[in-house]
Copies of this chain bind each other. A is one copy, B any other.
């Protein structure tokens, strides 16, 4: 049905290996032979089978990205990763993070990809162990996994937490609430650590009633904000573990008839593009996410090419305060 290198060889009157060599630019093939082969290949619209090639070379030139597709950040990092990989000749297979045992991860273990990009690994996940045990290269993006020590690219999440808290502190806020993230994610834990540290340094208490724990998404922000605002003593400022949570909180505030920042201040962390839009105008802490994603992809390819030292490489990207319109000075009650 579809042409193989054998068909090309027959048409060009040479052997199959010669076709293989000619099309891959092996200098040991005569110009004349090369021409005949190219002609035959075009005539048959021959495309080398990546499958056969992979089986022979033991390299697929394909990388898996494991992502939590419900995470609002993945649309930001996925294109960056895709393009960085494509630029270096690698393809991408996408795998959603599974809640269950991990039986769905076989594509990662059966050598159908050369490496793995773990973008959203829960800390207790067994997957990094499995990959490590099989010697499959991996890079963790924006989360560091539990015990396994692998290449990783992260933002300075502790500093991001500090920065977010300080934006409110320097505006004079003391009645502060926190829409926190899951304890399973290092990103969330690190940010919370920074937040609590900055608050403690400023002698500002964070009452446990004013901490609502949720996930990274918009819904968590909406629900958490409603919970905080229904407290007997609602906070006058809310730190959100992510921009999506913060935008959810903005929406809840709008729905509750609260003015931001007059009635309540809100800050986020991430600086997704939406945060800069006039209708959000969210004060937040910027992470260079697309840049980090690109970095991770290139790191993985470098690892696959074997041009990295044996020790795990860790890249930590700096963060930056992005004060905008959703926080302001605390007014006296």
Q: How far is the CA of A49 from the CA of B83 in the complex (A)?
A: 27
Please give the number of chain A residues whose Cβ is less than 8 angstroms from any Cβ of chain B in the complex.
Answer: 51
Task: Tell me if A79 and B70 are in contact (CB < 8 A).
Answer: yes
Q: How far is the CA of A31 from the CA of B111 in the complex (A)?
A: 29
Q: Which listed residue, B49, B82, B104, touches A110 by the CB 8 Å rule?
A: B49
Copies of this chain present in the complex amount to: 2
The stretch among A32-40, A92-100, A142-150 that forms the contact with chain B is A92-100
> Counting CB contacts under 8 A, is A250 at the interface?
yes
> Counting CB contacts under 8 A, is A122 at the interface?
no
Q: Which listed residue, B62, B75, B79, touches A96 by the CB 8 Å rule?
A: B79
Q: Contacts of A51 on B, CB cut-off 8 Å?
A: 51, 54-55, 60, 110-112
Q: How far is the CA of A252 from the CA of B278 in the complex (A)?
A: 8
Q: Contacts of A133 on B, CB cut-off 8 Å?
A: 45
Question: Which residues does A use to contact B, with CB under 8 Å?
Answer: 1-2, 45, 47-52, 54-55, 60, 62, 69-70, 74-75, 78-79, 82-83, 86, 91-96, 104, 106-107, 109-112, 133-135, 218, 247, 250-252, 254-255, 273-274, 277-280
12 new A-B contacts at CB < 8 Å, known A2-B111, A86-B96: A50-B106, A50-B110, A51-B54, A51-B60, A51-B112, A69-B82, A70-B79, A82-B96, A91-B93, A94-B94, A251-B279, A254-B278
